[in-house]
Structure 1
Amino acid sequence: MKPVVPFILTFSALACTNAIANVSYQIDLTSPEHHLANVEVVFPETQSNSLVVNLPVWRTGKYQVLPLADAVRTFTATDDSGAVLPWSRTASGEWTIALSEPTSVTVSYQLYANKLGQRVNHIDASHAFLDASGTFVYSPEFRGEPLTVSLNVPSDWNSYSGMDSGSHAHSFTADNYDILVDSPIETGISEHREFSADGRAYELVVWGEGNYDIDQMVTDLTKLSGQAEVIWDDYPFKRYVYMVHATSGARGATEHLNSTIIQRPRFSYRDRKDYLGFIKTASHEFIHTWNVKAYRPDGLVPYNYQDEGITELLWIAEGSTSYFQSQLLLRAGVMTPKEFLEDLAKRVAQSEQTPGREVQSIADASANQWASSGGDYAVNHSTNIYSEGYLTSLALDFSLLQETKLKRSYRDVHRKLYNDHRIPAGYTISDVKGILNTVSGTSYEGWWQEYVNSPVSLDFDSLLGLAGLKTSYGKEAKVEPFTGVTLKSGSLVLSQVLRGGPAWNAGIVLGDEIVAINGLKVTAAGFESRIKDFSAGDTIKVTLFSNDRLKDIELKLGEKQSGKLVITSVDKPSRSQKAFFKAWLGVDWPFDKEGQLKAVK
């Protein structure tokens, strides 16, 4: 899509659009300073005695009910002669309009758009980001009908979306509401680039100032976008838009049918570590264009915008996407083998420091995602569908590589999910097991029960050893004392107490505030250093406030390895281990004869 010619559209100039679409959306953004807009929606004539109008209670990509309709005020409805129609609020995201005769219905309302970090909507003097789930109401009666969206914007704004362009600047068309709700709009003052990869057109739109290098972003996104053929046979889109927000703190990302929105703090692009965070996020959302948008679990098909969609397979939708994201970057040469293994090591270490993996299965975590709230309870009693879903995908990939003597892999499973279970169909647990059987030639019933339906702690050295790798803390690592607590930033209040750790076993709980160790005052800044004055196995007296009562508790220190976990080559890797590594990641063995990573050319 070419950059639109900036000018102000008036609603009168848009009257012609109503004749070519069944539903017409118009949004006035000409006074955006206070996050406000006026929305008008024209629904075609209905024969019913009422028209139900909804605003979704959740947005795609975030499995959580949100109070989106709270942003709607001054809701009105009129008939085709302009007469006001009576309406009532019948649910949190629902209005029911009473009709006495067949008529078209025009719905108007004021929208407050200030949910930038939620990636629902945001309007200010420089731009508007519009996700339809928090912006545009729909009627179930006309959900499947064609529509147009027209924007009335300041004269220096440009508008972009993954939807097709409309009949004039700042307008878009879609075949139905499901496409609109999954095709966000970015309009405002931004930087824009176009590029191509593997016969597809791409755009990069960046709103906000920051320390990013847009040319480097284009270079790496081009390389990434050309890697899809590693997993899938074709594309579910002809044109794709990467939208990026350089923000004052909001961060996160959401996948869509033909685009993604990525948010990162404005000065988190220059350093290599920060930039890798951005490009890994871009890879994750790009993969979602297939895994979730083109095929997804049957519990999410079709989307029910007014209710939860429960499925035990969210770990495939999210965790497997995380699993593939760095692999595509590695194959594209955007990420080095060293960076890939560092990322994997971080995930292994995080898993081993999360007691919840021993309590909750990945299937149960998937079904529970809509109720998940994170925090201390989650760490100690829950499994994360992203991080643990990644590691479950790793175990499944290695199992398939073993079973097929490196001829087939987890990529083949996703290729078949895309080819055989594309939307509007959804896939079931039985479908996935059937594909695993087809790909491997063996039943995965037992594997599924052990790794998916049951809590599991992976033996990483045994698993990674198949690819000639091992975990370690380095030659300089030593045993250090360990308390099993985490402090709130800048204070001595406990924000986390690991289940089964030394503090947990001593009766120290979340929210306790430490004031002294062995009778001497301790500070937040000096707490970790003070603990290192002791040895693993020592017993210390911890003085703390618990529910405002001063207490002394005897704490026997545990032990942990110093430094960070690293993944390195095993001693004298075999030819078969190197072949496994190549079949797994698609790149040559990266270590030299001394076990050191080779320099990247």
Structure 2
Amino acid sequence: MTVTRKLTALAAGLTLAYAAHAFAADIPAPANKPYPGTIVLNVDATDVGQAIFRVRSTIPAKPGAMTLLYPQWVPGQHGPTGPLLQLAGLRITANGQPVEWTRDPVNVYAFHITVPKGAAQIEAQYEYLSPVTGAQGRITMTPDILGVQWLAMSLYPAGYYTRQIPVQANLTLPQGWQYGTALETASREGDVVHFKPTDLETLVDSPLFAGRYFKQYDLDPGGKVPVRLNVVGDTAEAIEAKPEQLKLHQALVTQAYKLFDSYHYKHYDFLFALSEDFGGIGREHHQSSENGVMPGYFTEWAKGESGRDLLPHEYTHSWNGKFRRPAGQNVPTFNQPLQNELLWVYEGQTQYWGEVLSARSGLISAAASRDALAAAAARYDNLPGRRWRAMQDTVNDPIIVQRRAIGWGDWQRSEDYYVEGQLIWLDVDTKIRELSGGKRSLDDFAKAFYSVENGQIGPAYYTFDDVVKYLRQVQEFDWASFLRTRVTGHGPGAPLDGLARAGYKLVYTETPTDYLKGAEERNKYADFTYSLGFSVRADGTIGGIAWDGLGFKAGLAATSTLVAVNNKAYKPDVLKSAIKAAKTGKDPIELLVKTGSTYRTIKLDYHDGLRYPRLERIADKPDLLEKIFAPK
């Protein structure tokens, strides 16, 4: 045997030996028993200049093998998206001496250590590095705002249910900053906040927003339990709500109580960031929600109607998704896979009730709510991906895609259980109304399904059969077949029976609705999806391209930039004028397109004018949307 072959054999043997050693470090299975001791978690959030959270965690331990886990499966994101990338500088000590750690070679979210003899605890020090650009991830710290997602700050011992691990959290804030959270505060000493001990699952479900500019609004004055809107922003002006704006948010709480006839929190805290720099977010929690939008929410109120459904959606989740949870979401730790098969109930029905409560509270007018429904109906009625992929399969997208950008959204599909789910629940609502002669509706289901054990905080889990059972209690019908047909169907077209029963049909006109105008302005794009088959961003780059649409067939891609239209520099109005002119002419529309360093002219032989979706009344049917959107 040559020296080279001997060395190769030796290396292979060492590799196998290392692998055997590495795989021998088993990760303890979670047990439903109390963890012996309380973790003390200290987070220093004062370095807003460099966007660094510094963490020190003291964890009771006993000598011998121990595995620490960093959360992988993120509640509310429905996938394995724990920000392990941002964890850095991990150092572990016991009795003041270093303890080496080894990352598990298969489960990279697990860290193996050996606790030395005589040690009763270990101390882990590390940093959570907030992204500083959107390309790195969601920005959670700016010079004026910070968001503490305890999941991102936590290491916890394997072998126990997270709800059985006690944690006492402490947070050091920048000088003078105020905060909002669902956590109970034990004390505040200067800028160090001590929270009451709780279990790890509750801690992770109770994020915190803090800011240089902070204001708290009471959304249920005199109510049985507090409901608060905690607002942080880039400026003091941005967080000032006018009385008439505050009244609409208070109406949201009133209408939710009338709908669900219950509450399942000790207090509820909306965490609301109004910022250009702090990352946008909408994430549900049982007794709070994280919400981040652009700073003009209050100051440019008239322009933002189409974006005011965020708070109603996340608030609805306190009932649907956090109190009432699909059985597949009942996992013992943050490192066990979530089962997402009922997300079309969890998120789809929340999408429906969020839109309904937006209208009933007056945050969004009934007219704008109809326009939003028209946009949703058009989107899914023209979705070619439905031909090969049922909506039921899209519940896997939080795992497959993990909310990364995709190239061909209407062909690949994405998390369509939200809005297509909304259309299905409109179908259910109108079917109940039809079968009962208008005596009952999905409101009756909401009262029955979500008001169980009013005041209970802990979750109540459900299965598909439970949903069917409660629907049958409201109105006898074969709901199992009704729902299965819709969630596993392929079309053609979207499930729009509910729209027709409500007295409306989807049509297209040359004038966009105010809702669509607002969406275009807020998102800075021009939408030609239902005419030329693509949209264009403010800088001229091609946005969403309709699969098999006119632009697609002409070879447009998301890497293209629209430079000129009929020899005139591109502006949205220039392209709109060209489309209008082509309707009465025979010449094609000429587009000068740049892809990389290559320019080319494409000709679109299109003569059907601008097309924007809206709803039109069916004359011989009652207007059920008027009843659905009317305040109670």
TM-score range, shorter chain: 0.7 to 0.9
Quick check: 1:166 aligned with 2:186?
Answer: yes
- TM-score, scaled relative to structure 2: 0.77
| Residue in structure 2 matched with residue 222 of structure 1 by the alignment | 250
Alpha-carbon distance change, 381 to 559 in structure 1, aligned in 2, over 3 angstroms: farther
Alpha-carbon distance change, 555 to 246 in structure 1, aligned in 2, over 3 angstroms: closer
Structure 1 contact 537–557 (Cα < 8 Å) conserved: no
Structure 2 contact 92–122 (Cα < 8 Å) conserved: yes
Quick check: 1:262 aligned with 2:291?
Answer: yes
Alignment deviations for residues 293-319 of structure 1 (CA, whole Å, 9 cap, x no partner): 112222222265235424222122222
Give 1:123 deviation, angstroms: 3.4
Alpha-carbon distance change, 194 to 481 in structure 1, aligned in 2, over 3 angstroms: closer
Alignment deviations for residues 462-500 of structure 1 (CA, whole Å, 9 cap, x no partner): 6434334444456989x9993323345433x54443223
Alignment deviations for residues 441-480 of structure 1 (CA, whole Å, 9 cap, x no partner): 1212332232111123567886434334444456989x99
For residues 367 and 433 of structure 1, what CA distance do their matches in structure 2 show? 23
| Residue in structure 1 matched with residue 100 of structure 2 by the alignment | 86
For residues 334 and 546 of structure 1, what CA distance do their matches in structure 2 show? 42
Q: One-letter code of the match for 2:78? A: Y
| Residue in structure 2 matched with residue 484 of structure 1 by the alignment | 533
| Residue in structure 2 matched with residue 466 of structure 1 by the alignment | 501
Alignment equivalent of 1:147, drawn from 153, 160, 167: 167
Structure 2 contact 185–195 (Cα < 8 Å) conserved: yes
| Residue in structure 2 matched with residue 418 of structure 1 by the alignment | 450
For residues 505 and 536 of structure 1, what CA distance do their matches in structure 2 show? 23
Q: Secondary structure of the residue that 2:582 maps to in structure 1? A: coil
| Residue in structure 1 matched with residue 240 of structure 2 by the alignment | 213
Alpha-carbon distance change, 158 to 565 in structure 1, aligned in 2, over 3 angstroms: same
Give 1:535 deviation, angstroms: 3.0
Quick check: 1:130 aligned with 2:130?
Answer: no
Alpha-carbon distance change, 340 to 531 in structure 1, aligned in 2, over 3 angstroms: closer
For residues 336 and 98 of structure 2, what CA distance do their matches in structure 1 show? 30
Q: Bigger shift: 499-508 or 54-63?
A: 499-508
Alpha-carbon distance change, 139 to 215 in structure 1, aligned in 2, over 3 angstroms: farther
Alignment deviations for residues 295-350 of structure 1 (CA, whole Å, 9 cap, x no partner): 22222222652354242221222222121113223323444322322332332333
Q: One-letter code of the match for 2:539? A: G
Give 1:243 deviation, angstroms: 1.4
For residues 63 and 310 of structure 1, what CA distance do their matches in structure 2 show? 8
Alignment deviations for residues 236-286 of structure 1 (CA, whole Å, 9 cap, x no partner): 102111111121254232111211121112134333454435542111111
Q: Bigger shift: 50-59 or 171-180?
A: 50-59
Alpha-carbon distance change, 408 to 302 in structure 1, aligned in 2, over 3 angstroms: farther
For residues 90 and 549 of structure 2, what CA distance do their matches in structure 1 show? 54
For residues 68 and 276 of structure 1, what CA distance do their matches in structure 2 show? 33
Q: Secondary structure of the residue that 1:227 maps to in structure 2? A: helix
Q: One-letter code of the match for 2:473? A: T
Alignment equivalent of 1:196, drawn from 220, 230, 234: 220
Quick check: 1:395 aligned with 2:404?
Answer: no
> Aligned ranges for residues 383-532 of structure 1 at < 5 Å?
384-418=416-450, 424-456=459-491, 463-473=498-508, 482-491=531-540, 494-505=542-553, 511=559, 521=567, 523-525=569-571, 526-532=574-580
Q: One-letter code of the match for 1:56? A: P
Alpha-carbon distance change, 457 to 398 in structure 1, aligned in 2, over 3 angstroms: farther
For residues 441 and 498 of structure 1, what CA distance do their matches in structure 2 show? 41
> Aligned ranges for residues 285-364 of structure 1 at < 5 Å?
285-302=314-331, 304-306=333-335, 308-364=337-393
Alpha-carbon distance change, 301 to 506 in structure 1, aligned in 2, over 3 angstroms: same
Q: Bigger shift: 375-384 or 198-207?
A: 375-384
Alpha-carbon distance change, 394 to 541 in structure 1, aligned in 2, over 3 angstroms: closer
Quick check: 1:98 aligned with 2:114?
Answer: yes
Q: Secondary structure of the residue that 1:41 maps to in structure 2? A: strand
Give 1:538 deviation, angstroms: 4.8
Structure 2 contact 62–120 (Cα < 8 Å) conserved: yes
Q: One-letter code of the match for 2:65? A: S
Q: Bigger shift: 283-292 or 377-386?
A: 377-386
Q: One-letter code of the match for 2:430? A: F
For residues 351 and 509 of structure 1, what CA distance do their matches in structure 2 show? 21
Q: One-letter code of the match for 1:59? A: V
Quick check: 1:72 aligned with 2:87?
Answer: yes
Alpha-carbon distance change, 278 to 240 in structure 1, aligned in 2, over 3 angstroms: farther
Q: One-letter code of the match for 1:256? A: H
Structure 1 contact 450–456 (Cα < 8 Å) conserved: no
For residues 420 and 116 of structure 1, what CA distance do their matches in structure 2 show? 44
Q: How large is the RMSD of aligned CA atoms in angstroms? A: 3.6
For residues 102 and 38 of structure 2, what CA distance do their matches in structure 1 show? 24
For residues 94 and 379 of structure 1, what CA distance do their matches in structure 2 show? 37
| Residue in structure 2 matched with residue 108 of structure 1 by the alignment | 125
Structure 2 contact 560–596 (Cα < 8 Å) conserved: yes
| Residue in structure 2 matched with residue 63 of structure 1 by the alignment | 78
Alpha-carbon distance change, 303 to 335 in structure 1, aligned in 2, over 3 angstroms: farther
Give 1:149 deviation, angstroms: 0.9
| Residue in structure 2 matched with residue 17 of structure 1 by the alignment | none
For residues 126 and 503 of structure 1, what CA distance do their matches in structure 2 show? 43
Kindly, what percent of the aligned residue pairs are identical? 19
Give 1:201 deviation, angstroms: 0.5
Q: One-letter code of the match for 1:523? A: A
Alignment deviations for residues 406-447 of structure 1 (CA, whole Å, 9 cap, x no partner): 333233434444356996553223332333333321212332
| Residue in structure 1 matched with residue 264 of structure 2 by the alignment | 236
Q: Secondary structure of the residue that 2:250 maps to in structure 1? A: helix
Alpha-carbon distance change, 354 to 375 in structure 1, aligned in 2, over 3 angstroms: farther
Q: One-letter code of the match for 2:614? A: V
Structure 1 contact 376–495 (Cα < 8 Å) conserved: no
Structure 1 contact 63–369 (Cα < 8 Å) conserved: yes
Give 1:553 deviation, angstroms: 6.2
Alpha-carbon distance change, 541 to 72 in structure 1, aligned in 2, over 3 angstroms: closer
Structure 1 contact 484–504 (Cα < 8 Å) conserved: yes
Structure 2 contact 43–171 (Cα < 8 Å) conserved: yes
Alpha-carbon distance change, 71 to 38 in structure 1, aligned in 2, over 3 angstroms: same
Structure 2 contact 276–295 (Cα < 8 Å) conserved: yes
- TM-score, scaled relative to structure 1: 0.81
Alignment equivalent of 1:180, drawn from 203, 207, 231: 203
Q: One-letter code of the match for 1:451? A: R
| Residue in structure 2 matched with residue 28 of structure 1 by the alignment | 44
Q: One-letter code of the match for 1:223? A: A
Give 1:174 deviation, angstroms: 4.4
Alpha-carbon distance change, 299 to 523 in structure 1, aligned in 2, over 3 angstroms: farther
For residues 368 and 254 of structure 1, what CA distance do their matches in structure 2 show? 17
Structure 2 contact 232–239 (Cα < 8 Å) conserved: no
Alpha-carbon distance change, 199 to 513 in structure 1, aligned in 2, over 3 angstroms: closer
Q: Bigger shift: 481-490 or 156-165?
A: 481-490
Q: Secondary structure of the residue that 1:226 maps to in structure 2? A: helix
